[in-house]
Amino acid sequence: MKVVIVGGVAGGASAAARLRRLDENAEIVVFERTGFISYANCGLPYFIGGVITDKEELTLQTPESFWDRFRVDMRVRHEVTAIHPDRKTVCVHGLDTGKTYEESYDKLILSPGARPVRPDIPGADGGKVFTLRTVEDTLQIHEQIKIQKPEKIAVIGGGFIGIEAAENLARLGIDVTVIQRSNHLLPTFDFDMACMLHAEMKNHGVHLLLNTQVSEIKEQGGRLSLKIAEGCELTVDMVLYAIGVVPDTALAESAGLELGVKGSIAVNDRMETSVPDIYAVGDAVQVKHFVTENEAVISLAGPANRQGRIAADNICGGSSVYQGSQGSSVIKVFDMTAASTGINETAARRAGIEYERVVLSPASHAAYYPGAGMMTMKVLYEKETLRLLGAQIAGYEGVDKRIDVLATAIRAGMKATDLAGLDLAYAPPYSSAKDPVNMAGFMIENIVKGRVKQFHWDEVDELPRDGSVTLLDTRTPMEYRMGKAEGFSNLPVDDLRERISEIPKDKPLYVMCQSGYRSYVSCRILSQHGYDCYHLSGGYGFYEIVKNGKEQVKRAYPCGMKK
């Protein structure tokens, strides 16, 4: 059996290695149009920033090492330009030799990946405008920074690559501005959770222009002028585009393969395309979203690796299936860690799912053990079924651990209330006896059983201030003086029982504290005395972060023009 693989990196290289482990006699040929067959795509921004200092460390495998270990024929700098399913061959062009030839196959795996998006605006293809997708891109940007020594760089796009690039450029002492089309960074997050990332970026000197688009790039006097609004321009030395990727499927389309959403390659759960003996894996393929069961394109290394393994299994006579992607991801944002899994509120609304969410800010480990830090968690679940839908976490320690637990719970089909019963490891340096994941389960359990009712940050400013409801802040007087929501009177939780007669019982009562715990305790006291009580999920601290984040979106452009 002869297997030809188009494209290396995560999906193609994983498929090649798995094929060899399953079939020692198969002939395996991999064509990769770049000069690198298997590299750490996610590590590219860290080479630019000097965190990774040796470019050789970016290369996970070389053609030589792959041959030595797996006897796989890796041909770099070879581009497949056409597929002929009728005669089971591919047309190959040697980029260094200029020669073109045909290669036959019994089975074909497509792993073309995705290509970075460049917008169709004047100047987007200029010599000082870069994208970051391959090792070659990285080396080119690294060399340009070394030679030019830019003082200011604009990163256009606030997804994973944009954020990582901005952090690493800022660590080089470069003045960085991130320009994002939507109102927040990191599309897997909701706006409220992303506000913490905005604050972290700002604290490290990165400028954010949200709800903003670049309409033109002009080179003037060796610098670049970016037109970003009516008459408003930003002058920088370099531009890095990171506005996303699209499936690189021109080859598949020309061969007559069925395409799916966003022009991706349509495959079944065995990674088989619409054409016999042709498989496809990685960033170019359409998959089922594990939570919504809708068709989706999810460009992440983990799913690509698993898909390559599954395609190899099935080529070798197995019966492996891909059960869908849920988009679990984690990113370093300076000193902060941000992670998510499943779907966010925006995706839930788009899918027509009636959901509820809880927000909490637990400590990363036992508060009495030195070094405990706060994290903020949002967990979404379906109201009727209590099915877990997704989670987002931002914090400084232990974020990755909790998101993996929640991702596993989603994959296992657990109900949101089942989180309360998880038996998780505890020692003071690592967690609390009530782990943050357990605490989320306790909160959901209390809501489901009617022990407490809640309201959210986006309802605070909409509450009537005409006396028809009672607004209560149960923090200490000092906390209250340091910042408060309009119309909320202060009555500390520890004084509540003695002063309960001061609170009217004939109207709804909305209670807040700093994080949500004291307001919950307050509502338990008050509800047992006959009050119709609601507590603020996430507390005043979360409300304040989001409110400040909303103000940041409205702030002045660099030229001083207000939006």
When computed from its CA atoms, the radius of gyration of the chain, rounded to whole angstroms, is: 27
Place of tokens 């340091």: 482
The DSSP secondary-structure symbol of 151 reads S
Residue ranges with strand state E in 64-212: 73-76, 78-84, 89-94, 100-104, 107-110, 114-116, 129-131, 152-156, 175-179, 207-209
Q: Catalytic: 42?
A: yes
Identify each DSSP E strand in 383-450 by its residue range. 388-395
Tokens of 329: 């991801």
**CA-to-CA distance for 40 and 548, rounded, in angstroms?**
36
* Dist. CA 378–CA 208, nearest whole Å: 24
Encoded tokens for 438:
């357990």
Residue type, position 411, single letter: R
Beta-strand pair 152-156/238-241: parallel
Q: Tell me how far apart the alpha carbons of residues 227 and 225 are, in angstroms, rounded to a whole number.
A: 7
Asked if 201 contacts 185 with a C-beta cutoff of 8 angstroms, the reply is yes
Task: For residue 143, give both structure tokens.
Answer: 């060399």
- Output the CA torsion sign for 184, 186, 190, 194: negative
CA neighbours closer than 13 Å in the CB half-sphere of residue 434: 11
Q: Which tokens in the block code for residue 218?
A: 């002009």
Task: Say which of 42, 195, 513, 559 is annotated catalytic.
Answer: 42
Q: State CA 356 to chain mean position distance.
A: 21
Q: Which of 433, 537, 345, 37 is nearest to 28 (CA)?
A: 37
CA angle 80, 83, 84 (to 5 degrees): 145
How many helices and strands, by DSSP H and E, does the chain display?
15, 32
Instruction: Return the DSSP state at 264.
Output: P
- In this structure, the number of other CB atoms found within 10 A of the CB of residue 117 comes to 15
- As a whole number of Å, the end-to-end CA separation of the chain is 63
User: What is d(CA 77, CA 98) in angstroms, rounded to the nearest whole number?
Assistant: 10
Distance CA 490, CA 368 (A): 28
Strand-pair category, 175-179 with 152-156? parallel
Point out which residues pair with 292 in neighbouring strands.
Answer: none
Known catalytic residues are: 42
